[in-house]
Amino acid sequence: AQSVSQHNHHVILSEAASLELGCNYSYGGTVNLFWYVQYPGQHLQLLLKYFSGDPLVKGIKGFEAEFIKSKFSFNLRKPSVQWSDTAEYFCAVRGSSGSARQLTFGSGTQLTVLP
Amino acid sequence: ETGVTQSPTHLIKTRGQQVTLRCSSQSGHNTVSWYQQALGQGPQFIFQYYREEENGRGNFPPRFSGLQFPNYSSELNVNALELDDSALYLCASSSRDRGSYEQYFGPGTRLTVT
**pLDDT tens profile A9-49:** 999 999 999 999 999 999 888 889 999 999 988 889 999 99
- Give residue B30's Cα distance to chain centre: 14
Nearest CA in chain A to B99: A51
CA dihedral A102, A107, A111, A112 (to 10 degrees): 140
User: Of A81, A86, A83, which is closest to residue A111 (Cα–Cα)?
Assistant: A86
Q: Given CB atoms, is A80 within the 8 Å cutoff of chain B?
A: no
Give the amino acid at B34.
W
The 3-state DSSP class for residue B10 equals: strand
Residues in chain B: 114
DSSP secondary structure code for residue B76 in this structure: E
Kindly determine whether residue B42 and residue A45, on different chains, have CB atoms separated by under 8 Å: no
Integer Cα distance of B106 and A42 in angstroms: 9
pLDDT number for residue B100: 58
Integer Cα distance of B67 and B75 in angstroms: 5
Q: Given CB atoms, is B58 within the 8 Å cutoff of chain A?
A: yes
The 3-state DSSP class for residue B40 equals: coil
Kindly determine whether residue B56 and residue A99, on different chains, have CB atoms separated by under 8 Å: yes
Nearest-CB residue to A105 (from B4, B43, B106): B43
The mean of the pLDDT values for chain B is 92
pLDDT number for residue B2: 64
